[in-house]
Amino acid sequence: MRVLPLLLALLAPLASAGELLVELADGSHRYSSAELLAHPASREVTIPADVSYKRPMRYRALPLAELLKGVTAQAHLQAVADDGFAAELPAASLLDAPGARAWLAVEDPAAPWPALGKAGKSAGPFYLVWTDPEAEQIGPEQWPYRMVRLRVLASVAERFPALRPDPALAADDPANLGFAQFQKHCLACHRLNKQGDAAFGPDLNVPYNPTEYLRADLLRRYIRDPQSLRHWPQARMPGFAEAALSEAQLDQLIAYLRHMAGRKVTAVE
């Protein structure tokens, strides 16, 4: 009677092994956990304040730039997780540059990472982590875990025209500046005007924009600390501290949302 539980315990670490698909201009590349763990640039990396685990963590990781040969700083990438989370990432922040550094942490099937939440799954097998994230205001949405795909794409504005503010606005208009904040902090989970690649959170404009049903002070509070406004143990939206989203940037984000409330697509097609 005890053979099956013992067998399952022995096989459990094997579930952490995986394959990462990287799609660049020169074609697609598939990397196994074993291949990346053995990569010559792989090393032990300590993350003092891990966004997902909420404590210091140590990983076997390699600079993400090692997998982005030929990608220029002007390119745009998207990291997709197994649950539909889709982080939009400017290539400049991922390549070797001064400041924050992006690392691909790879889970060793023989030494699995701790589980995240009650689901029993870890952040592996592939997790994008950062050293010195505060140097470039790396927000929590730029730490995608359980990654399955990394790909070069056209910019968000090109792919999703219904997300763009009114083209008549000046480049430095708060709504335009807020569009950049929306891409960085919101688009990984949410769609807007039925556009976006994420399949995780609700649309933020259709049928209603949060600026239409939340007072301005409560919306700010919700973005900073979601659980302080709507306590829900299963909620997964992170809070955005000033280190990642300054007060001025939060003003811009809210200005964008308020502006887009007047630019809705048809609710029913």
Q: What is the pLDDT of residues 211-244, one digit of tens each?
A: 999 999 999 999 998 888 776 666 667 778 888 8
Q: Give residue limits of the domains in the chain.
A: 17-153, 157-260
With a pLDDT cut of 90, the percent of the chain lying above it is 72
pTM, rounded to two decimals: 0.83
Name the CATH superfamily for 157-260. Answer: Cytochrome c-like domain (1.10.760.10)
pLDDT tens column, 8-35: 344 444 445 799 999 998 899 999 999 9
**How wide is the angle at C-alpha 88 spanned by C-alphas 213 and 201, nearest 5°?**
35
Lowest mean pLDDT among 21-25, 114-118, 157-161: 114-118
Give the three-class secondary structure for 108.
strand
CA distance 170 to 212: 24
What CATH architecture is 17-153? Answer: Alpha-Beta Complex (3.90)
* Nearest to 194, CA basis, from 92, 114, 133, 264: 264
Mean pLDDT of 82-91: 91
H or E element: which one contains 22? Answer: strand 19-24
